[in-house]
Copies of this chain bind each other. A is one copy, B any other.
Amino acid sequence: MSSRYDQALGIKGEIAALKRERVISAAVDLFYERGYDNTTLDAVAEQLGVTKPFIYSHFGSKAELLAEICSRGINSSQAALDSVLVLPDSPTEKLALICARFVSAVLESQKHIAIFAREAKNLNDEDLKRISTQRRKFDRALTKLLDEGVAAGEFSIGDTHFAALAIQGMISWAYVWYRPDGRLSMTELSDQMAELVLRLVGTAPKS
């Protein structure tokens, strides 16, 4: 059982994380609407009704805030992938589940991905390098799963790395066309995408 001191620290940590998320969320809205260059940290502070030192207590600079936002899309996609790869399921089941969760990750990070596409040139070299490394890690993990599916006789793919890039494109591109008030719900969209991906990797079509 945790002491009252530990509990207080826990609450403090949670509040700090919550505040940090509020800063990110306000910055996402402003960077998305006005662009990175046209948004000052003063404007972010004003949007939140806080002072600029409050922002600085969470992020050292505007560029650091941008790096956090630009990392969100790939980080949540990687988390979706990791959460499935540990399961004891077959490659086919894993791939279907990864697609569904990857779709959710993309749609929930829609603005973050748009900001990354627009503003990557404003990232520090180090941050850009880190994000590129993350993306290659995701590539490799998805390719490995496709290789496992081929080895298990479940998938029929000539070039698994190419197929991994095609799958990422199908799903990532949704950030361009998805509208929250659109014809398909997020669940329908995830299910349909998973079905198309299973076809693409050459599993037998559902009868």
A37→B199 CA distance, assembly (Å): 44
Contact with A173, one of B162, B172, B192 (Cβ below 8 angstroms): B172
A158→B205 CA distance, assembly (Å): 12
Integer count of this chain's copies in the complex: 2
Question: Which of chain A's residues 138-168 have a Cβ closer than 8 Å to chain B?
Answer: 156, 158-159, 162-163, 165-168
Q: A113 to chain B: closest CB distance in Å?
A: 10
Total chain A interface residues with beta-carbon distance under 8 A: 33
Q: A115 to chain B: closest CB distance in Å?
A: 11
CB nearest neighbor in B for A117:
B117
The CB with the most chain B CB atoms within 10 A, among A189, A192, A202, is that of: A192
CB nearest neighbor in B for A173:
B169
CB nearest neighbor in B for A120:
B118
Contact A192 B117 (CB under 8 A): no
Contact with B along A185-205 (1 / 0, CB 8 A): 000010011011001101001
A9 within 8 A of B: no
